[in-house]
Chain A
Amino acid sequence: MNKTVYVEMKNICKTFGVIRANRNINFSVYEGEIHGLLGENGAGKSTLVNMLSGIYKPDSGSIFIHGEHVNIHSPKHAIELGIGMIHQHFKLVDVLTAAENILLGNSQSVFISSKNKIKSIKNVMAKYGMEIDLDKKIRDMSVSEKQTVEILKVLYRGSKILILDEPTAVLTPQETDKLFEILKSLAKSGCAIIIITHKLNEILSVTDRVTVLRQGESVSTLETCKTNIRELTELMVGKPVSLSIERVHTNKGNLLLSVKGLTALGEHNVPVLDNVTFDLYEGEILGVAGVAGSGQKELCESIAGLYPVEKGDIFFKGENIVGYSPREIIKRGVSMSFIPEDRLGMGLVPSMDMVDNMLLKDYVNQPGITVNRKPAKEKAERVQKRLDIQTPGIYTPIRKLSGGNIQKVLLGREIDANPHLLITAYPVRGLDIGASYTIYDLLKEQKQKGVGILYIGEDLDVLLELCDRIMVLCDGKVTGITDSENITKEDLGLMMAGETLSSIKGGM
C-alpha cells in the first residue's frame, strides 16, 4: 500500500552566524507514521522542525507538504498548512485558562464566550481520550496537564502533522506511557507524527522509522524494528561508545550533611519542601530524582542559603547552617551550582570574561577595597586546561562560548574551590555525550577525593549508574531513599509520581 508522503524536506541548510545548524538534511514522513528524530543535544533537531513550524526559514533547500512546494513564512502559515508543534518549553500563557489558550490566535468569531467552541473542544478531547479541566488556569496545572493542553491546541486547529519536541523530558515513566498511547491512536487516525528525542529506548518503543542527525547532518534513516540501541548510538555519536559510566567504589567517610525535617514555603504558602530528611556522607554521590518542579531547585537553594527555610535543620559537619548568609555557607566549603533551563541564569555573568567570572566568589576575600585580578587569571588558566575548555581566550565574554563549555567553566570554578560538599543540579543539561562523560568523570574524581556530592539529574539511567544512593522527591516530599543497585527505573518512576518506597516494597 502506497502511503502518502505528508512532509518532505530536501537538502535543507540553516546557519546561525558561524554555527551551521543544519547541513543538507533530507527527511520525510508518511501519513500514519510516527517518525523519530534522534540526535544528541546540538545535533540540529530543534532547528530542523522549527523550520516546519514557521519560526525559522531555511537558508537553502525545499519543503514539500502533501507534495506541494511551500515557503513557510510564519507560525500562522504553518498552522494553516496543518502543522502543529508541541514545544519542549510550552508556549502557553500562564494567567489564561486552558480553553483560552486553545482558542488563542483563532480567527473565527469576535466574541470568545461561545458555547459552541467549548463543545467542539470537548469533542476533540473525547475523540482522542484526553481529559482536561478547560476552566483551569495554566499556572495551576501540572506539567503533564500542560502538555495535554498543548496537544489539544494543535488538534483543535485540525493539524494533521504533529511535531513533539522532547516531550518526555518532564514526564514520569507512567505519564510517558500514557502519552505514547495517545500518539499511537493519533497515528492510527491518519496523523503524521514527528517526535524529537535523544532517548533511545523511547525511539525503540514508539516509532516506526527513525532519522539520526549528527552535527547538523542527516546520517541515516532506518526502520525502527530493524535496528538496536548499539547501532543507533554509533550513528548518533559517530564512533562505538561504551555506554556505562562505571561507578567507582569508595569507602564512605564521615557524615557530611544531615538535613532534618526541612520545610520551605512557596507561592500561596504552599510547601515546596515538606519535611525533607536525609544524610549525605563524604565520598559518596547521592542522586536526587524527581519530576521537574518537585522541589529540587528549592532544596539546592535552601542548603546554599538562598531560599528561606520555614522549619527544620541543616547540619553541615555538625554545625546547623540554617539562617546563615550565602557567603558564610560558601566559606564553610559548600559549593552549589544549579544549571537552570536557560542555562546562563545563575552562577555566571554572561557579558564578563572567564577571569571576572572566577572572581565572583573569591573577590570578597581579598584585602582592601580594590580587586586584584591576578589570582583570578591564574585560576582561569588552570580551569581551562583542566577541563579542556574551548574558548578564544580567557578574556572573551563567556556568552560567546558554546553551552557545553559554559557549563564546564561553571563546574570548573566550583571544583577549583575544593569544596567539601558539592551540590550540582542538571550539570549535563544540553551537553552532548562527550562533554557529559567528561563531567561524570570529574564528579567521580571528586568523589574519590572524599567530596560529598548531591547530584540532581533528569536522566534516570545516569542516576542509576553514577550515584551510590538515590533520593526521590515528589511535590516537595521525600518518597524514598534507596541504594541504586537495588531499585529499578519503574520503581523510581512510581516514587516520582508519589508512591512511597515502603509501599512499593511492601506491596511486592
Chain B
Amino acid sequence: MIPFLKNAIISGTPLTFAILGAMYNEKAGNLNLGIEGMMLLGAVAGFQVAVLTLNPVLALLAAMIFGALGALIYAFLTVTLRTNQSVTGLALTIFGTGLSRFWGKRLMGMTLPESFSRNFRPLSFPLLSRIPVLGPVLSVFIEQDLFVYFSYLVVILSGIYLYHTRFGLNLRAVGENTAAADASGINVTLYKYVHILIGGALCGLGGAYLSLVYVPSWQDNITSGRGWIAIALVIFTSWNPYRAFWGAFLFGGLDIVGFRIQTLNLPVKINQHFLRMLPYLATILVIIIGSIRKSTSHLPPKDLGNPYFREER
C-alpha cells in the first residue's frame, strides 16, 4: 500500500504543477485551454537543456521559460488583442503539441546519464519505518525527490500568496470583478500578464517532471491528456491550491491503479484498455459532480472568460 501511495504522489506531481498553472490563469480571469501545449513545451525544452548541459537547474529554468513563452503568446492575444480565450487556448495546444513533437524528434531514444538522474533520486529516511503508524504515512510524503519537494513548496507558497498578501487579494479581485479591480487602481493588464506567465511556467515544470524524472525521456505526446485533466481538476478543487495538491494525489493514484490491478491476480481480468480509460472517466465524473454541487463556495471567479475593456460603451 505504502509503495502504491508513494507512486501516486510521483504520478500526481505533474498534475500538481499543471493544476496550479491553470489556477493562476483562471484566478486572473482567463480560461486557458493551452495547458497541454505549455506542458509539452516545458517537457521538451527541459529535456533538451538537460541533455546539453546535464545541469538540473538550467533544465528546470528552460522548462519554465518555454512554458511561459507559450503563455506569453496566449496572453498577448487574449489580454491585449482580446481574442476568444477558448479558441486561442486551443491554438496554443495545437502549436505546443506540434512544436514539441517537431523539436523532440531528434531527442527520441535519448536517455539521461546517471549523473543527472542522481539529482532526482527520492530521499530516504530509514528511521521513519521504525515509528509505528505515523512513520510509514509520513514516508509517503517525505521520501520523495527534490522536484516533488519543490511542488510542495509551490503549493504552500501559493496558499500564502493568494490569501495573505495584497498581491493575492488584488489578483482575486481581478478574476472576480475586473471592473472593480480597475476602479481600485489595480493595473489589470499587468496582473493578467504576470499571472498567466507564472501559470505557463508552472505548466512547463509539470511537463518537465514527466520528461526528466517520471519516464524519464522524451516521448511524443508525453503528457497524454494530463493538461486537460488539470483543467477539469481546477474546477473540482475549487481554485484552491491546497485542494489542488490532494486532487493531483488522487488522480495520480487513479492513473497507476491500472498497473497495480494488473499485478494482482484477480479472478476477472480487466482489459488494460479499459483501465487506461479510468482517469478520463473519473474526470467526467468530477465535472458532473462539480456542476451538481452549486453551493457558493465552489463557484469559479466571476469574470472568468470575459475580456476586460475599460472604454466599453
Residue B271 CB within 8 A of the other chain: no
Give Cα distance in the complex from A78 to B177, angstroms: 20
Q: Looking at chain A, what size class is its interface with the partner chain?
A: 35 or more
Q: Do A100 and B164 touch across chains, with their CB atoms under 8 A apart?
A: no
Q: Do B164 and A91 touch across chains, with their CB atoms under 8 A apart?
A: no
List residues of chain B with CB within 8 A of the CB of A110: 165-167
Give Cα distance in the complex from A408 to B52, angstroms: 70
Q: Do B165 and A111 touch across chains, with their CB atoms under 8 A apart?
A: yes
User: Would you give the 0/1 interface string for B189-209, flagging 1 where the beta carbon is closer than 8 Å to chain A?
Assistant: 000000000000000000000
Please name the residue on chain A nearest to B294 by beta carbon: A267
CB within 8 Å for A105 and B185 given contacts A92-B180, A94-B177:
yes
Give Cα distance in the complex from A105 to B179, angstroms: 12
CB within 8 Å for A111 and B164 given contacts A91-B184, A104-B180:
yes
Q: How many A-B residue pairs have CB under 8 A?
A: 84
CB within 8 Å for A75 and B185 given contacts A56-B311, A96-B173, A109-B166:
yes
CB within 8 Å for A87 and B169 given contacts A93-B176, A96-B176:
no
List residues of chain B with CB within 8 A of the CB of A78: 185
Give Cα distance in the complex from A90 to B179, angstroms: 10
Give Cα distance in the complex from A415 to B16, angstroms: 58
Contact of A85 among B181, B183, B302, B310 (CB under 8 A): B183
User: Would you give the 0/1 interface string for A308-319, flagging 1 where the beta carbon is closer than 8 Å to chain B?
Assistant: 000000000000
Q: Looking at chain B, what size class is its interface with the partner chain?
A: 20 to 34
B289 to chain A, nearest CB (A): 20
* 8 residue pairs bridging A and B, Cβ less than 8 Å apart: A17-B313, A93-B180, A93-B181, A94-B177, A96-B176, A105-B173, A105-B181, A139-B296
List residues of chain B with CB within 8 A of the CB of A92: 177, 180
Give Cα distance in the complex from A109 to B179, angstroms: 23
Residue with the greatest number of chain A CB neighbours at <10 A, chosen from B165, B180, B310: B180
A341 to chain B, nearest CB (A): 13
List residues of chain A with CB within 8 A of the CB of B299: 95
Residue A79 CB within 8 A of the other chain: yes
Give Cα distance in the complex from A104 to B180, angstroms: 9
Q: Do A16 and B296 touch across chains, with their CB atoms under 8 A apart?
A: no
CB within 8 Å for A96 and B164 given contacts A56-B311, A91-B184, A267-B296:
no
Residue A74 CB within 8 A of the other chain: yes
User: Would you give the 0/1 interface string for A25-38, flagging 1 where the beta carbon is closer than 8 Å to chain B?
Assistant: 00000000000000
Residue B101 CB within 8 A of the other chain: no
Q: Do B164 and A113 touch across chains, with their CB atoms under 8 A apart?
A: yes
List residues of chain A with CB within 8 A of the CB of B172: 93, 95-96
List residues of chain A with CB within 8 A of the CB of B179: 91
User: Would you give the 0/1 interface string for A85-127, flagging 1 where the beta carbon is closer than 8 Å to chain B?
Assistant: 1010011111110001101111111111100000000000000
Please name the residue on chain A nearest to B313 by beta carbon: A16
Residue A331 CB within 8 A of the other chain: no
Q: Do B164 and A105 touch across chains, with their CB atoms under 8 A apart?
A: no
Give Cα distance in the complex from A427 to B181, angstroms: 31
Residue A136 CB within 8 A of the other chain: no
Residue B170 CB within 8 A of the other chain: yes
List residues of chain B with CB within 8 A of the CB of A352: none
Residue A53 CB within 8 A of the other chain: yes
Q: Do B166 and A91 touch across chains, with their CB atoms under 8 A apart?
A: no
A100 to chain B, nearest CB (A): 6
User: Would you give the 0/1 interface string for A1-39, flagging 1 where the beta carbon is closer than 8 Å to chain B?
Assistant: 000000000000000110000000000000000000000
Give Cα distance in the complex from A55 to B165, angstroms: 27
